[in-house]
Amino acid sequence: MKKTLAIVAALIMAGGAFAQKGTFYLGATGITFPMGPSESTFITGVVYNKNGSNSMTAFGIAPELGYFISDKWALGLGVGFNYYSMDNGSSSSNAITWGVNPYICYYAVTMDKFNLYFQGDLSYTSNKPEHFDASNIFYVGISPGISYDLSEKFCIYATFGNFGYYHYGNSTSSLSLQLDPNALSFGLLFLF
């Protein structure tokens, strides 16, 4: 434990900065749009999984654009679209999910290449399964994140967990703390 604390303290004292004021960034990410107990992650790419007669296909795109308003604060906007198709051999179903996620990040600790930040989100997500009405969810919350600078232009990041308030289209609302693996999101940013 003492060794871990010493390493963390050394990294914090290393200094450095993730990006400077006036820097824009563009990302292809697995933006997480919180969906209450069943987290929905927007992916960029194509996924196919087959297990016996069961198969699942998913296609998604989740770009984001952001701007550093200071060396510690960034504003961003993520959007996501996913198409899911499930087939169990005797029946099939599909769903379309889309969302928009304006956010603000505060970089609490900036190190040589590693950065610890907190992201405040305000999101809207709509999920439309085949043969059912669309479900709409509004979310306001915060998530911790860590980023690593691969170079001066590229950065990878991850957020884990969230604490927030959800309002579902049917007037139901809840306060939630999520720390399960479904609340993990990764992304890649290009700074320009």
Topology of 2-191 in CATH?
Answer: Porin (2.40.160)
Specify the pLDDT at position 189: 94
- For 72-110, the pLDDT digits (tens) are 999 999 998 999 898 988 888 899 999 999 999 999 999
> How many residues are given for the chain?
192
Bigger pLDDT: 182 or 167? 167
Q: Mean of the pLDDT values across residues 112-122?
A: 95
% of residues, the chain, pLDDT over 90? 49
C-beta of residue 189 within 8 angstroms of C-beta of residue 30: no
Cα–Cα distance for residue pair 81/101, rounded to 1 Å: 12
CA 123 vs CA 12, 76, 99, 133, 141: distances in Å? 32, 12, 7, 20, 9
Specify the pLDDT at position 190: 96
C-beta of residue 119 within 8 angstroms of C-beta of residue 105: yes
Specify the pLDDT at position 28: 78
C-beta of residue 189 within 8 angstroms of C-beta of residue 155: yes
Specify the pLDDT at position 89: 84
Cα–Cα distance for residue pair 110/76, rounded to 1 Å: 19
Nearest to 39 by CA among 108, 137, 155: 137
Specify the pLDDT at position 168: 87
Specify the pLDDT at position 79: 92
* Long-range contacts of residues 77-84, Cβ cutoff 8 Å, at least 24 apart: 77/101, 77/102, 77/103, 78/27, 78/29, 78/31, 78/42, 78/102, 78/103, 80/31, 80/33, 80/42, 81/42, 82/40, 82/42, 82/43, 82/58, 83/58, 83/59, 84/56, 84/57, 84/58
Specify the pLDDT at position 30: 60
- For 33-63, the pLDDT digits (tens) are 444 434 456 777 788 888 888 998 988 898 9
Q: Mean of the pLDDT values across residues 124-136?
A: 88
What pLDDT band is residue 3 in, cutting at 50, 70 and 90? very low
Specify the pLDDT at position 169: 81
C-beta of residue 91 within 8 angstroms of C-beta of residue 84: no
> Mean pLDDT over all residues of the chain?
83
Three-class SS state of 5: helix
What DSSP designation does 113 have? S
What pLDDT band is residue 151 in, cutting at 50, 70 and 90? very high
What pLDDT band is residue 183 in, cutting at 50, 70 and 90? confident
